[in-house]
Structure formats: C-alpha cells, structure tokens
Amino acid sequence: MSDETVELLAAYAHEAWSGWMEYMFDQCRVDLPGNLTIPAGAVTRWQRQMNTPYADLSEAEKASDRDEARKILAIIETQFSRSAT
C-alpha cells in the first residue's frame, strides 16, 4: 500500500473521528465551567453498541457501519485503479 493511500485513509479516519466527536458533543449538556455531561440514555446506547458484535447489531446500526466501510473501500479502490493505469 502506497504512502499516498495511507495518508488518504488516515485523513478519512480523522474525518470520521471528528464527525463522531462533533455528534457526541452535540448530545452532551454543557455546564457553566464548560464541562460536558453525556446523557444517561446516550451512554447506555453507546455502551450497548460497543459491546455488541457486528452480527448482532440492528439493521440500522449495520447500515451505518456499511456506509463507513464503503467510504473506506472507495478510497482504496480509487488508489488501486490509479496505480493500475
């Protein structure tokens, strides 16, 4: 795998992480000094999701993971098709 492919995948990983953090922060309550509190319902849902094997996730949760996989594959496929020409 080329350095360029690694950099593109790393950039995507950062973009995905940044998107998750933005979503997570949006779910939190902010107190006066700026501390974030994650609502109990979100904690319960996220803990369940992180402790559930992919095969046992709901179809909606699997669809979200499939979307992420497709984004990663698109980067890899683009890089391989470029290197084949």
- Convert the pLDDT of each residue in 10-60 to its tens digit: 999 999 999 999 999 999 999 989 999 999 999 999 999 999 999 999 999
pLDDT at position 1 over 80? no
- Rounded CA separation 48/55 (Å): 13
Predicted confidence band at 80 (pLDDT cuts at 50, 70, 90)? confident
What count of Cα atoms within 13 Å lies in the side-chain half-sphere of residue 73? 6
pLDDT of 85 over the 90 cut: no
- pTM for the whole thing? 0.79
Lowest mean pLDDT among 52-61, 64-73, 74-83: 74-83
* DSSP string over the chain: --HHHHHHHHHHHHHHHHHHHHHHHHHSEE-TT--EE--HHHHHHHHHHHTS-GGGS-HHHHHHHHHHHHHHHHHHHHHHHHHH-
Q: Where are the domains of the chain?
A: 3-84
